[in-house]
């Protein structure tokens, strides 16, 4: 494996499942699962379905790559037979149908946790990794914010404080 | 006679766009917490409405809580909740 092919990477270049799968390929692994998150052409909003023109992704790159590597460590704790994990996320302008994130997990055998680990990787990424997307429509734009994670929110009410 | 220390704070996503800049400089007495920094930022950038919205903070590219005590040279960032999906996925094994 060449040194310029990182396992955890934020990039402005197009992503491919073949690329991410090749980063986790090892001679002792007979199983690889992959996941791709792709830009959807429509979004459900309070005002009904809206057609998306394109998405703009932004990341805190240094922190995002560190946290993606942390997710890889968490996966090895939970599924010790996992050999390699790779998570690649694209930033910048993405068109409908293009992958924004690709993930691959390799294990010796398919029963060694590769399916579960791949699911875990995308859910953890969406919960903690500092990446944001801005939906752009023909008549406007909005930053998407995920559900607040109380343990990360500086504004979270502390302990028993009631918020009326 | 506390020494004052300046910190550069990075903004991301909607906070960056609303502030119209990607950084701010905040000067605080030595030993100040992230909570104090956020209060100072709220004064400096009232348009961010930092007291009315969820906000996350990181120091040196790792999440911190409001009680974190700032050290000279700390790289601070504040940002909105990350763009997660709608599925809640708790502690799977």
Integer Rg of chain B from CA:
14
Name the nearest CA neighbour of A104 among A132, A129, A61, A72.
Answer: A72
User: Bridge partners of B77?
Assistant: B10, B58
Which phi and psi angles does A63 have, rounded to 5°?
A: -70, -40
Q: What is the pLDDT of residue A23?
A: 98
Q: What is the pLDDT of residue A2?
A: 45
Percentage of chain B exceeding pLDDT 90: 82
Percentage of chain A exceeding pLDDT 70: 91
pLDDT tens per residue across span B64-92? 999 999 999 999 999 999 986 444 434 33
- Chain B residue with Cα closest to A37: B85
Q: Mean of the pLDDT values across residues B48-52?
A: 90
Cβ atoms < 10 Å from Cβ of B66: 17
Q: Mean of the pLDDT values across residues A23-52?
A: 88
* Residues of A whose CB is below 8 A from B54: 145, 148, 153, 155-156
Contacts of A69 (CB under 8 A, 6+ apart): A7, A8
pLDDT tens per residue across span A116-152? 999 999 999 999 999 999 988 888 888 887 777 778 8
* Residues of B whose CB is below 8 A from A78: 93
Question: Which tokens is B57 given?
Answer: 């903070």
Q: Which residue has the tokens 């930092």?
A: B50
Alpha-carbon distance B82 to A68, whole Å?
14
- CB atoms A66 and B92 under 8 Å: no
Q: What is the pLDDT of residue B83?
A: 80
Q: Mean of the pLDDT values across residues A36-51?
A: 81
Question: Are residues B82 and B13 in contact, defined by beta-carbon separation less than 8 angstroms?
Answer: no
Q: What is the pLDDT of residue B29?
A: 97
Question: Which tokens is A143 given?
Answer: 């930053």
pLDDT tens per residue across span A78-95? 999 999 999 999 999 999
Global ipTM: 0.88
Name the nearest CA neighbour of A152 among B81, B75, B47.
Answer: B81
Q: How confident is the model at residue A164 (pLDDT cuts 50, 70, 90)?
A: very low
- Burial zone of A74 (CB within 10 Å; 0-12 exposed, 13-18 middle, 19+ buried): middle
* Residues of B whose CB is below 8 A from A126: 82-85
What is the nearest CA distance from A62 to chain B, expressed in angstroms?
Answer: 7
* Residues of A whose CB is below 8 A from B87: 123
Return the number of CB contacts < 8 Å for A and B: 99
Which of B36, B37, B83, B88 to probe by mutation at the A interface, max A CB count within 10 Å?
B83
Q: What is the pLDDT of residue B63?
A: 95
- B4 or A159, which is more confident: B4
Name the nearest CA neighbour of A39 among A124, A102, A85, A127.
Answer: A102
Q: What is the pLDDT of residue A156?
A: 65
Alpha-carbon distance A40 to A55, whole Å?
9
Question: Which tokens is A24 given?
Answer: 């986790």
Name the nearest CA neighbour of B21 among B47, B49, B39, B51.
Answer: B47
A115 interfaces chain B, CB cutoff of 8 Å? no
What is the nearest CA distance from A161 to chain B, expressed in angstroms?
Answer: 16
Which residues, numbered 61 to 80 in chain A, qualify as contacts with chain B under a Cβ-Cβ cut-off of 8 Å? 62-63, 66, 78
Q: Mean of the pLDDT values across residues B18-46?
A: 96
A60 interfaces chain B, CB cutoff of 8 Å? yes
User: Bridge partners of A9?
Assistant: A88
* Residues of A whose CB is below 8 A from B12: 58, 60, 130, 132
């Amino acid at each position: 494996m060449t040194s310029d092919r990182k396992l955890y990477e934020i990039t402005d270049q197009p992503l491919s499942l073949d690329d991410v799968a090749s980063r986790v390929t090892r001679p002792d692994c007979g199983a690889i699962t992959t996941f791709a998150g792709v830009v959807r052409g429509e979004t459900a909003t309070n005002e009904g379905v809206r057609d998306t023109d394109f998405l703009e992704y932004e990341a805190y790159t240094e922190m995002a790559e560190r946290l993606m590597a942390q997710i890889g460590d968490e996966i090895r704790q939970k599924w010790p037979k996992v050999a390699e994990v790779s998570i690649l996320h694209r930033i910048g302008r993405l068109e409908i149908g293009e992958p924004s994130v690709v993930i691959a997990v390799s294990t010796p055998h398919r029963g060694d946790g590769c399916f579960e680990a791949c699911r875990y990787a995308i859910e953890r990424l969406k919960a903690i990794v500092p990446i944001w997307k801005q939906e752009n429509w023909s008549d406007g734009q909005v930053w998407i914010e995920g559900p607040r994670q109380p343990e990360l929110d500086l504004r979270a009410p502390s302990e028993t404080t009631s918020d009326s | 006679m506390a020494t004052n220390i300046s910190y550069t704070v990075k903004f991301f996503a909607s906070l960056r766009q609303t502030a119209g800049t990607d950084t701010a400089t905040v000067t605080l007495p030595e030993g100040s917490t992230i909570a104090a920094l956020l209060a100072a930022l709220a004064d400096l950038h009232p348009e961010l409405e930092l007291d009315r919205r969820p906000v996350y903070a990181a120091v040196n590219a790792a999440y911190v809580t409001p009680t974190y005590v700032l050290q000279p040279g700390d790289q601070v960032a504040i940002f909105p909740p990350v763009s997660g999906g709608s599925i809640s996925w708790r502690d799977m094994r």
